[in-house]
Amino acid sequence: MPGSERAAHLLILGGTAEAAALAAAAPRLAPRLAVTTSLAGRTEHPAAIAGRVRIGGFGGSEGLARYLAAERVDLVIDATHPFAAQISAQAAAACAAAGVPRLLLLRPEWPRHPLDRWIEVEDLAGAARVLPQLGRRVWLTVGRRELGVFAGLTQHRFLVRLVDPPGEPLPLAQCDVLLGRGPFNLEEERRILRRHAIEVLVAKASGGAATEAKLVAARERELPVVMVRRPPPTPGERVDGVAAALDWLASRLAAAAGNRKEEVMR
Ligand code: NAP
């Protein structure tokens, strides 16, 4: 880490509740710590985030490596979504090239309850393949950009919940749209299943309390859930929550402060 005249600079790769919680808590560890959170820019009105926020892609791992150097980033915490595999791989490559320590914050998977009727599939295409055997009225809890995979299922009626109103027609023949931003509570999810006579749910194994209630509601109604497995995590240092990420940050900052003290005494 650089000389003592400058605060350390932490870059949080965000787009999750954990990233927002980290951005709020990290400065309490060291008042002179500069914290920047990076968002891809997928949502029109992102939730409020403490500290500096930058929005938009970096331009691949080379672009991110250039950003790390230009902004003199000392530490990176990748707190992106478990399915955001591309940015995580790019962060791993960029940090390795730039010699910047990186931590992956990966939230735990949802535990499977004995009464859950999950059909696990490798990817969204796999989910589309199994749907015809499971039911016609489908709640698709996937992102707007991922809906195209289900376009061929013209006999199905889909329900989609989006953060922002869709600017253009969705690529689904029969589709109802709900607007909402998590966290979602159990009563809300029960109501949705009832009102839309949902027969099957499609979910990504994202984990996290904010979107878990839909699984409880589906279990109560004994509905099948097509669960898309997570991509493998990037190798390297990894924790499963905000508290552990703050511990990592504290130990990195303490080690850097120790190094600086030694340099001054030499
Ligand atoms: P992705 O496929 O891993 O990344 C696609 C590209 O988007 C990356 O190559 C990068 O562009 C840019 N990008 C992604 N995350 C970024 C970030 N935090 N800051 C700056 N650029 C970023 O990502 P994704 O699955 O589309 O997810 C996009 C964002 O939404 C992530 O930040 C993620 O945390 C959040 N999110 C994703 C999901 C999901 O299910 N995938 C769910 C909830 C939230 P360049 O190559 O130009 O740098």
Query: What DSSP line would sit under 153-206, residue for residue?
Result: -TT-EEEEEESS--SS--S-SSEEEEE--S---HHHHHHHHHHTT--EEEEE--
Which protein residue's CA is at the shortest distance from atom 43 of ligand 1?
81
Which CATH number is associated with domain 9-108+232-265?
3.40.50.720
* Atom 40 (ligand 1) nearest CA: 83
Residue identified by tokens 């787009």 is: 15
Say how far apart CA 133 and CA 137 lie, in whole Å.
12
Best of 42, 68, 87, 102 for a ligand 1 pocket test (most atoms within 8 Å of beta carbon): 87
Amino acid at 176: D
Q: Is 87 in the pocket of ligand 1 (CB under 6 A)?
A: yes
This prediction has a pTM of 0.94
Domain 117-228 sits in CATH 3.40.50.720: yes
Q: What residue ranges of the chain are covered by domains with CATH 3.40.50.720?
A: 9-108+232-265, 117-228
CB of residue 80 inside a 6 A radius of ligand 1: yes
| In the predicted structure, residue 15 carries a pLDDT above the cut 60 | yes
Give the Å distances, CA to CA, from 227 to 121, 155, 168.
6, 21, 27
| pLDDT tens, residue by residue, 134-160 | 999 999 999 999 999 999 999 999 999
Give 266's pLDDT tier (boundaries 50, 70, 90).
low
Whether ligand 1 lies within 6 angstroms of the CB of 57 is answered as: yes
Averaged pLDDT of the chain: 94
